[in-house]
Amino acid sequence: MLGKRILLIIGGGIAAYKTLDLIRRLTERGAAVTPVLTKAGAEFVTPLSVSALAGAKVHTDLFDLTDEAEMGHIQLSRVADLIVVAPATADLMAKMASGRADDLASTLLLATDTRVLLAPAMNVRMWNHPATQRNLVTLHSDGALVVGPNEGAMACGEFGPGRMAEPLEIVAAIEAAIGSGPLADRHVLVTSGPTHEPIDPVRYIANRSSGAQGTALAAALAALGARVTFVTGPATVLPPDGVKVVRVETAREMLAAVQAALPADAAVFAAAVADWRVANAAGSKMKKDGTGRPPALEFTENPDILATIAQMTAGRPRLVVGFAAETDDVIDHATAKRARKGCDWIVANDVRPETGIMGGAENAVTVISADGAESWPRMSKDQVARKLAARIAEALA
Ligand code: CTP
């Protein structure tokens, strides 16, 4: 963190008091914190305590002409290595998602091309409200990183998700975002989860992938400092903190999102992509026709995302990693798959039902590379993710 410049926007919520501790934690790690206090934020913490802890001037008003002469708001937002919004209130998130710029904080956020980390904090109903969740999806796809919120008792007396992440959790997310680990300055793409292939507007074909392994891997890569783009189908586990989340439904959408996210230093394809989609998917709901005859679905092959990227002639990521789910002859099948798809490594796992791996918390993998097959002992999906992330860091070093 030494010498890193953090622009810290303090929103108007009771959690603003925790931001004072955050400033202290950041400055003692050598970061330079430039604080911006919203009008509502100043109702919860005073400019004096913020500036005393940061050892810097607090910026509060967009129309301070002296400030504009000293350092304009555009400049202020661009000199930072990272912009942190803590607490990110429902209102600030809504302003950001809709691109409003009616005070200093929202103007800075609109004027910048620096990455933004949000630490949301609000009442549980506000957090769960469809409007906030919609804004969150928009902010994710705009590239904002998010840490928290945590679940627990809240100042308003309710219980649930909405508590701001603790200062040290925010520090860890900042460290991952500004990349002090071995993958600092590396962009890694991860696909995860199942895909949903529509039959008609209300029905789809899917698979049982939970997205757990891809999510753990994205978190482990971010923890090593990588900038992670996480392209996920409709998974049951939540996406990790501190990564750019791109949500997709179908294999074709996943391929388009992956291509749009390039260039990348490495790409890891952990998604369980449907190999087939319904060619004659209906535009309106299919009805029983009274004859008792089921509709005939025709299938067509989906694009192979892993093979498409692995076989790129220009702009191919330096390291392309695929996964293989096998039930027998794991090593032979995975070795053949590596050659067929043209990827560098295949992480093969044995998904026979008796292993309990598909949908479970553990994994036993064999990593196939040009050097041969290496079987790892059975361990948690988190441990597999950390070990694989460390290997990726070595390969990109
Ligand atoms: N994959 C992909 N796009 C597809 C299908 C698969 O990117 N349309 C990727 C998966 O993310 C995974 C690997 O390819 O990294 C799995 O390859 P796949 O051929 O689907 O293997 P299995 O699922 O193991 O199935 P099969 O053995 O039947 O080919």
**Model confidence pLDDT, tens digit, residues 39-74:** 999 999 999 999 999 999 899 876 665 666 556 677
- Calpha distance 22→33 (Å, rounded): 10
At residue 362 the predicted structure's pLDDT band, cuts being 50, 70 and 90, is confident
310 lines ligand 1 (CB under 6 A): no
Pocket test for ligand 1, best of 273, 330, 366 (most atoms within 8 A of CB): 273
Q: What would the mean pLDDT of 246-253 be, rounded to a whole number?
A: 97
Q: Which domains does the chain have, with CATH numbers?
A: 5-178 (3.40.50.1950), 187-396 (3.40.50.10300)
d(CA 358, ligand 1 centre) in Å = 15
Q: What would the mean pLDDT of 198-212 be, rounded to a whole number?
A: 94
CA distances in angstroms from 147 to 116, 120, 175, 282, listed in the order given: 11, 7, 12, 40
Pocket test for ligand 1, best of 192, 255, 329, 337 (most atoms within 8 A of CB): 337
Q: What would the mean pLDDT of 143-159 be, rounded to a whole number?
A: 85
325 lines ligand 1 (CB under 6 A): yes
| Residues annotated as catalytic (active site), given as ranges | 156
305 lines ligand 1 (CB under 6 A): yes
d(CA 273, ligand 1 centre) in Å = 6
d(CA 269, ligand 1 centre) in Å = 9
Helix, strand, coil share (%) of the chain residues, nearest 5: 35, 25, 40
CA angle (79 as vertex; 189, 141 as ends), nearest 5: 30
The burial of 158, by beta-carbon neighbours within 10 Å (0-12 exposed, 13-18 middle, 19 or more buried), is given as exposed
**Model confidence pLDDT, tens digit, residues 91-113:** 999 999 999 999 999 999 998 88
